[in-house]
Structure 1
Amino acid sequence: MSAADDPKTLVGTDWLAAHLKDPDLRIFDASWYLPDMQRDPKAEYEKAHIPGTRFFDIDEISDLRSELPHMAPPVEKFMSRMRAMGVGDGHQVVVYDGMGLFSAARVWWLFRLMGQTNIAVLDGGLPKWIADGHKTTTVPPTIRDRHMTVQRRDDLVRDVTEVARAAKLGDHEIIDARSPARFKGEADEPREGMRKGHIPGSKNVHYQDLLNADGTMKPPTALRTVFMDAGVDLRKPAITTCGSGVTAAILALALERIGKTDYSLYDGSWSEWGMYADLPIATGAA
């Protein structure tokens, strides 16, 4: 067990192994991959998952009315999907993914958005679980309906109008989790039709800079250093962004780990900002 284990943010594989048979524990595999990764998360889940795990489909448990990818779902849809998966009030949730720490943080943030705080990301994800000698299974869990009380926290999400205002006023730190090459506009975006560059005034903290080589998150002191080295003023409220709101949640998790709670996530991220010609963009370094 690690001193860093916190069931509201991040837990290690030994913590999860010790609590695996707790009756109030619920585990999600929230693996999601970019098209160029050529991986099928649902097929991988069926082939091997941590015992008792349910599969969380980020693309399906979203607002399908939006043209943007995997936007946060309406409260009613979230509640109904959680009920169907047997996740409700009083449960401790742990979420992981097949990359180490990539898409799991998105579900952590989504639960936070819905007013649920008893959720942690598995540090290092499924690769670390397997590397540490813990078992996987192909058996799906037994599920019984449970009720979840949801109170959406609008302060944790921002729309394009709010982000445009923050960029203009400079009263927030807008932190972009994409790679430096994408941030600077030197690399093409993975989605067609996207302009290249970044939101004017934003700072670049590539999500991978927050992680160790094994996919675990760096300790809080190192996380703070990464943000400060990128020129982020931690005294200002933060807005995290990325390509489509997935790795922006890794930044949100890291900010929570260092004790910073005045952050929000730009759900549309570059999938939205990069699509509209009337929104300003910047290129090069911040």
Structure 2
Amino acid sequence: MADLPTPLVSTEWLAQHLDDPKLRIFDATVHLAPPTEAGGEWSQTSGRPDYLAAHIPGAAFADIIDDLSEPDGGWFTKPSPERFAAAAGRLGIGPDTAVVVYAANVFWATRLWWLLLANGFDNVAVLDGGLGKWTAEGRPTRSGAESYPQAEFVGTPRPALFAELDEVKQVVESGSGACLINSLSPEDHHATETVSYPRPGRIPGSRNVFVAALLNPADGTFRPVPELREIFKEVQAQSGRKVTYCGGGIAATGDALALRLIGETDVAVYDGSLWEWTNDPSLPLEVG
């Protein structure tokens, strides 16, 4: 298989390549719900039952909650390169394969896309519009479980695609070196109170690009590049690296994909995001 168009492929492209033996399609759905009261816990539920009920023909299920996160590392913490390589190999992702990812909420698909890039695998794309667009077009689905033959995952990790806490602290303290981008809603960005995190607010100096605003409401596809450039106009006016964050490093990968679409190359995701930042009372927050 030739390299696929990245970082997005259309439903039409996927339908035309569905029978390619080197193609690997994955449903990465997770259902996440915030706490309903202060101090409560976020609920996370695997999307496997949805996958078993209906998925794109040939697709396997990629388990982000367990297999593709670091156990006891926090909230969806990125796995070590060794853990990721082992999981990707079990899924059947080898050096001669191409990967297309989708999810009920596209930002779980962008999360797996970003994890693959960060571990040195480039022949991966997100299905634009996902299963919703696929089924709306009358395309076929299957039920039950499917899988691919195991493979040896090959990739050289790219740690620069993730920003660590120390880097973000340095940006906040110096006020330079990178543009911090909050992918959450304006309500979360300006929060003066919250039940979602230990403390309300945003990382100081960060700008807000709500990830949901990047999608066309009609079909869930990403907006055209000119519209994305307009949305990110203030961000692109800032020099240096672009570091996205959210609650736990999921929605932030949607902003990261859009930044790649508009030509930004030095982009990182702060994996710990607000979950890590707000749990440390010594770290500053802006509110209002």
How does the TM-score come out when normalised to structure 1?
0.91
Query: Is 1:131 the counterpart of 2:136 in the alignment?
Result: yes
Instruction: Quote the residue 1:281 is aligned against.
Output: 285
Instruction: Quote the residue 1:173 is aligned against.
Output: 179
1:1-286 superposed matches below 5 A: 7-36=5-34, 40-60=46-66, 61-66=68-73, 68-99=74-105, 101-169=106-174, 170-186=176-192, 188-191=194-197, 194-213=198-217, 214-228=219-233, 230=234, 232-284=236-288
Preserved contact between residue 75 and residue 150 of structure 1 (Cα < 8 Å): no
**How far off its partner does 1:57 sit?**
1.2
1:183-202 deviation line (CA, Å, top 9, x unaligned): 111452435xx210000000
139 and 266 in structure 1: CA distance in 2 versus 1, 3 angstrom threshold: same
**How far off its partner does 1:7 sit?**
2.4
**How far off its partner does 1:102 sit?**
2.4
5+ residue gaps, structure 2 = 35-42
Aligned length: 275
Mapped partners of 2:76, 2:148: distance in 1: 25
Preserved contact between residue 60 and residue 148 of structure 2 (Cα < 8 Å): no
- Residue identity matched to 1:78: F
**SS across alignment from 1:165:** helix
**SS across alignment from 2:285:** coil
Mapped partners of 2:279, 2:94: distance in 1: 37
Percent sequence identity over matched residues?
39
How does the TM-score come out when normalised to structure 2?
0.91
180 and 232 in structure 1: CA distance in 2 versus 1, 3 angstrom threshold: farther
76 and 231 in structure 1: CA distance in 2 versus 1, 3 angstrom threshold: closer
175 and 64 in structure 1: CA distance in 2 versus 1, 3 angstrom threshold: same
Mapped partners of 2:31, 2:282: distance in 1: 30
Give the ranges of 4+ consecutive aligned residues of structure 1 lying more than 6 Å apart after TM superposition: none
Over the aligned positions, Cα root-mean-square deviation in angstroms equals 1.8
- Residue identity matched to 1:147: E
**SS across alignment from 2:60:** strand
1:83-119 deviation line (CA, Å, top 9, x unaligned): 21212111110000013x2211001100010011100
5+ residue gaps, structure 1 = none
38 and 240 in structure 1: CA distance in 2 versus 1, 3 angstrom threshold: closer
